Amino acid sequence: MSTDFELEKRLAAEAAAALLADGMTVGLGTGSTAGYFLAALAARELELVCVATSPATEAEARKLGLRLEPFDSTDKLARLDIAVDGADQVAGDGWIVKGGGGAHTREKIVAAAAERFVVIVSSDKVVDEIGPPIPLELHAFGLAATLERLGDARIRSAPATPDEGVLADWLGPVDDPAELAGRLDTTPGVVEHGLFAPELVSEILVGRGDEVERIEPG
């Protein structure tokens, strides 16, 4: 019997939506699993203030009647109570990879601003070890020089990000996610990469069959 990954995504999303309460400020992730979360959240009809991590999420959240605020003003919303987002890879030690949808820069900013960052995935996202591709957002300025410095990276055939970044993927080995994350963090021209450290992740909700498993990194 084949696994129903869409059901698993929905179950994980519903479990995350159950964590929210009236008055919370909420970061909304991007992607199909985050889409299930938006629907589950809207169905709860809570009083919330939300920020979106992509134009697609913003449009969907508006359609569902969720209250949105911009996240680019300096006088409010410096912290969020919770952020909920999907992932491309989830390892047992809490390292995750995001950015399959190209939104990892905004997603990481929102996750880092949240008291609690909850990751929701179907069971096929769970891996023994993190591996390539690792999504990258690169500055357009000096692109050839950045690619040369990176070596094992390839431009993705995708439109520019809302922040005018160029999407690419690291295709080299990922022997040590912390070492690679450190290297990418200090490579000029790399705006952001899709490696999210365990310290950023409060909990991971994995839909598995008709149940939801909870992983608490670290």
Name the residues that contact ligand 5RP, by CB under 6 A: 29-34, 85-88, 98-104, 107
Task: Please identify, using beta-carbon distances, which residue of 21 and 102 lies nearer to ligand 5RP.
Answer: 102
**Sign (positive/negative) of CA torsion 79, 82, 83, 87?**
positive
Q: Which sequence positions are flagged as catalytic?
A: 107
Q: Of 98 and 193, which has the nearer Cβ to ligand 5RP?
A: 98
C-beta separation of 10 from 209 below 8 A: no
**Residue 184 · residue 136 · CB < 8 Å:** yes
Q: Which two tokens stand for residue 213?
A: 């498993």
Helical (H) or strand (E) element with 137: strand 134-138
Give the residue with the Cβ less far from ligand 5RP, 101 or 217: 101
* CB of residue 141 to ligand 5RP, shortest distance in Å: 23
**What is the β-pairing status of strands 96-97 and 190-193?**
unpaired
**DSSP 8-state code for residue 92:** T
- Least spacing, CB of residue 72 vs ligand 5RP, in Å: 18
Those residues whose C-beta lies under 8 Å from the C-beta of residue 7, and which sit 6 or more positions away, are 207, 210
Q: Would you say 6 or 69 has its CB closer to ligand 5RP? A: 6
CB of 120 to ligand 5RP, least distance (A): 8
Q: How far is the CB of 112 from ligand 5RP (least distance, A)?
A: 15
Question: What backbone phi and psi angles, to 5 degrees, belong to 211?
Answer: -125, 170
For residues 53 and 103, is the Cβ–Cβ distance under 8 A?
yes
